[in-house]
Amino acid sequence: MEASTYLQPITKTEQGLDPQDWSELRQLGHRMVEDMIDHLASVTQRPVWQEMPAEVRRRFHNDPPLDGEGAEKAYRDFQQYVLPYAEGNLHPRFWAWVIGAGSGLGMLADMLAAGINPNLGSGDHAPALVERQVIDWMKQALGFPSEASGLLVTGGSMANIIGLAVARHVKAGINVKEDGLFPAKARMMFYGSSETHNSVVKGLQLLGFGKQSFSPIPVSTDFRIQIPALQDAIGRDTKNGLKPICVIGNAGTVNTGAIDDLAALADLCAEHGLWFHVDGAIGALLAISDKLQPMLRGMERADSLAFDLHKWMQMPYDVGCVLVRDEAQHREAFSEGAGYLSRMPRGLCSGERWFSDYGPELSRGFRALKVWMCLKQHGLRKYGELFEQNVEQTGYLAGLVESTRELELMARGELNIVCFRYRGRVPDEQALNVLNRELLMRLQEQGVAAPSVAVLGGRFAIRVSICNHRSRREDLDLFVREALRIGREIEKSPA
């Protein structure tokens, strides 16, 4: 084909997505920043959560626009139909699940990251150095060796999957990358307490093991894994021809915030030659606090560690992290060559490490920037003080519950979670479950607070997880008063 075939004249005006008049976008951008800072500054003046009217819900079932409506209209729709009906986790009385409250600079950092819009999968560019530095800071803060590797990911679920995938690669005894699990002569087994997060089971399913490869170990009354029961399970499975390869320790369980005896688990894994993975989505970062760090003794011995920065560290969603002690094992589990990923000695295609070699994704956003900037703004010590503040607030809430006859404390872990229920004079367990379900929903619907659910021994509990830098003791006082008021209303006039 002759070269002239490609040199056909362009008959249409070439288009793009940039505005013809940048001043209009600049004005809208300034307004967006001002509006969102006002939104953060006035968060306490709004209900924690409010239900969307049916009319608003219908707005999200329209056909896609074929012709543009303009940036101004898009922003007005955001203000009217999205902003008032957000999850509510900015509010100081949002205590549902373990979700951080974000911060002003974190919000602006995400804008900056989107503005330069890099791909963190490959290449030699400054954003890659930012992510590498954030990982180095995390290794240092959490007691991992400097030669360990790591990766920023969407959250604890993906961090767990990556840690378990490296465990599979190292401990399977077969070439999983080449042959999959087909040559395995025995089912491989993973162990964790019955309080282990469901992302672990989902991860094992995605990795081809199936739910039967997870052995849930009973917990003690403090919701920590029973080490003798774990020893028995490993011995029994080995005797029955199964292949134990990994133990998952919990640095803060989702129901109660319990921390397993991580040092004992590290000893056990060393004894049996097992991979030691720690799910520290909630509590791992408490190692930053000198006061709280002793609860995590043994975590630094993990082969892999998963944790979140968008939870207690207050970074905007999403950003989690996985650390792996052995960099070569981590890289070997995921590295896969391709011509379009060829490395060059110089230029953009150079670089010491490409993050695509340490996880499943080649396309990766610049989530490191908000972490980097917020750590520079506040410093690690400030975050440690906030962790301690939330733990103290949790103790205060537990004291309020115990000082009131109508409320019953059901669980108080070492960290930031309190589970309680309204008991009043209701003797029947089933009726108590119904009453407290209704109490939880009314607390949310009335915009008072947003706790969540825990089911402990078949009993419905209202679960309060305090990892919010905006929470104050007066918020807890108000919450308990309102829980009593609504509980008494339901008890007198059950739905």
Residue pLDDT tens, the chain, 495 long: 565 677 777 777 888 999 989 999 999 999 999 999 999 999 999 999 999 999 999 999 999 999 999 999 999 999 999 999 999 999 999 999 889 999 999 999 999 999 999 999 988 899 999 999 999 999 999 999 999 999 999 999 999 999 999 999 999 999 999 999 999 999 999 999 999 999 999 999 999 999 999 999 999 999 999 999 999 999 999 999 999 999 999 999 988 889 999 999 999 999 999 999 999 999 999 999 999 999 999 999 999 999 999 999 999 999 999 999 999 999 999 998 776 677 788 888 877 788 999 999 999 999 999 999 999 999 999 999 999 999 999 999 999 999 999 999 999 878 899 999 999 999 899 999 999 999 999 999 999 999 999 998 899 999 999 999 999 999 999 999 999 999 999 999 865
306 Ramachandran zone, left/alpha/beta (phi>0; psi -120 to 50): beta
What's the CA gap between 272 and 47, in Å, rounded?
52
Q: Which residues contact 141 (CB under 8 A, 6 or more apart)?
A: 285, 287, 288, 380
Distance CA 27, CA 410 (A): 53
Helix (H) or strand (E) holding 247: strand 243-250
Peptide bond into 63 cis (omega under 30): no
Give dist(CA 150, CA 146) in Å, integer. 11
Strands (E) across 24-155 are located at 149-153
Q: Are 441 and 480 in contact (CB under 8 A)?
A: no
**Burial classification of residue 239, based on how many CB atoms lie within 10 Å of its CB (0-12 exposed, 13-18 middle, 19 or more buried):** exposed
Alpha carbon distance 46, 219 (integer Å): 40
309 contacts 281 by C-beta, under 8 angstroms: no
Name the phi and psi angles at 322, rounded to 5.
-125, 135
Half-sphere exposure of residue 255: CA atoms within 13 angstroms, side-chain side:
19
SS3 151: strand
Q: What do you get for the CA distance between the two ends of the chain, in Å?
A: 79
The rounded distance, in Å, linking the Cα atoms of 337 and 50 is 50
- Cβ–Cβ under 8 Å, residues 352 and 343: no
Give the number of other Cβ atoms within 10 Å of residue 169's Cβ: 18
Count of all residues that appear for the chain in the document: 495
Q: Which residue has the tokens 């940039």?
A: 18
Residue 463 vs residues 81, 127, 256, 353, 450: alpha-carbon distances, Å: 29, 39, 8, 42, 9
